Chain A
Amino acid sequence: MDNLTFAITLIVVGMGGTLLTLALFSFLMTILKRLFPAQEEAPPKKTT
């Protein structure tokens, strides 16, 4: 494979692939947060 094809393929697929994969992770994290929301911290019980 010639260097130009090699470089362009790596730049396009590499950069695009990295960005798209992280976008997918970002999306999955958003879903995860919706599925498993953080619980509000219960106020401490008053003791007498």
Chain B
Amino acid sequence: MLQAIVDGLLGLTRGFVSLHWSNPVMIAVGGILLFLGIKKDIEPLLLVPIGFGAILTNIPAAGLMEEGGFLRVIYEMGIATELFPLLIFIGVGAMTDFGPLLENPKIFLLGGAGQFGIFLTIGLALLFGFPQLDAVAIGIIGACDGPTAIYVTSKYAPHLLGAVSVAAYSYMSLVPIIQPPIMRALTTQKERTVRMDVETKPASKTARIIFPIVVTVVGGLIAPQGLPLLGTIMLGNLMKESGAVARLTKASENEIANVVTLLLGISIGATMEGTAFLKIQTLLILAFGFVAICLDTVCGVLFGKLMCALGGGRVNPLIGAAGISAYPMAARVVQKEGVKYDKHNFLLMHAVGANTGGQVGSVMAAAIMLSVLRGMGII
């Protein structure tokens, strides 16, 4: 009887006995993510569930990420199958207004230049000795697009999912801090005060409806490996623009997106188990993510300068910085920088156009990268 009581009491110490030094550290990291999300309002919808997921998975002996554990079930259901990022993308498409982009289609090019950081960072990660597919997952942080980064990483480097996701969402929210110094360093006072035409031709409803269909078909034919990403974002946008399925559009951008965001966040947090996460490699991934977003901004602004030079000085190079996918934050940053140098300069709509171009650009960049990798026989 005494032995049974002792055994029972020992059962209550199992969690403490199994504690590895990395677990309390990661519980603290989870706490920091919660602090950033709750107190600092940095991507709270993602950082709160990620932070709590990190805390849950670092309480030992509970087996939440073991076979049959509830976090494992969620992970297998939505991350391993790549379903969660795709469902989020339907909501993203339903929430995005491509109107400003369609008004000035030339701006699409800035959405391409804003993705160059992805490819340059892959080269850097390879230089630092990362395996090829790990380098691809690190580079994709430069897409500045959480679902795309999660989709690519969960497919080709799932062991990096926690670090890549945290980097992607954290840096996205730090865009207002990261971008302005780069924008100022690369442009002259004269360039920053360039005023762009306010009068642009709006796109008709028919053109807005055909746009997602054309992009899906053409983009899918060019880069079939990325069709799930491209198809889901464009499906969401088609539903929004058609106006025919208002209930589905509303569900995609609200209920579905909310439920999936919660499950996505908690299952990403669940991958942040101490022994797997606390490595020099994680710090390098965070550093490369930062470099990727800086390179995106550099390439976007430089491409903006090129467009300015070729377009007879009618393009403000600052809008190049909005060619990344952080929507609509990057566009707001451009507007804010623009009015610092000319109080009456209205760059917002052009920047929003470049920003939505960046959304399509990030998806296309990932799609092209995956198709090139398939072509080379890497995947």
Contacts and interface: CB of A to CB of B under 8 A. Distances in A.
Nearest to B203: A33
Contacts of B357: 22
Interface in A1-48: 1, 3, 6-11, 13-15, 17-19, 21-30, 32-33, 35-39
5 contacts: A7-B123, A14-B369, A22-B109, A25-B219, A29-B105
A6 B365 CA distance: 16
A39 B214 CA distance: 21
Interface of B: 101-102, 105-109, 111-113, 115-116, 118-120, 122-123, 126, 132, 136, 201-204, 206-207, 210-211, 214-215, 218-219, 222-223, 357, 360-361, 364-365, 368-369, 372-373, 376, 378
A15 B111 CA distance: 11
Contacts, number: 118
Given A7-B123, A10-B119, A18-B112, A24 B376 contact: no
Contacts of B105: 25-27, 29-30, 33
A46 B357 CA distance: 41
Given A26-B109, A36-B210, A38-B203, A13 B218 contact: no
Given A33-B201, A38-B203, A25 B372 contact: no
Nearest to B116: A15
The main secondary structure of chain B at its interface with chain A is helix
A21 B220 CA distance: 11
B206 A36 contact: yes
A19 B210 contact: no
A25 to B, nearest CB: 5
A29 B214 CA distance: 9
Given A6-B376, A29-B105, A36-B207, A14 B219 contact: no
A29 B200 CA distance: 14
A32 to B, nearest CB: 5
**Considering the complex of A and B, which 10 residue pairs feature the smallest CB-CB distances, nearest first?**
A29-B105, A26-B108, A22-B112, A36-B206, A19-B112, A7-B123, A26-B105, A38-B204, A17-B368, A14-B119
Contacts of B215: 25
Contact of B376 (A9, A17, A22, A38): A9
B214 A32 contact: yes
B210 A17 contact: no
A18 B132 contact: no
A18 to B, nearest CB: 5
B222 A32 contact: no
A38 B116 CA distance: 34
Contacts of B369: 10, 14
Contacts of A19: 109, 112-113
Nearest to B108: A26
Contacts of B361: 18, 22
A38 B202 contact: yes
Nearest to B368: A17
Q: Which of B108, B115, B215, B373 has the most CB of A within 10 A?
A: B108
A29 B108 contact: yes
B378 A1 contact: yes
Contacts of A1: 132, 376, 378
Contacts of A32: 102, 203, 207, 210-211, 214
Given A9-B376, A36-B210, A18 B108 contact: no
A23 B105 CA distance: 9
A38 B209 CA distance: 13
Given A25-B108, A26-B109, A32-B207, 11 more contacts: A1-B132, A7-B122, A7-B126, A10-B372, A21-B223, A22-B108, A24-B218, A25-B105, A25-B360, A32-B203, A36-B206
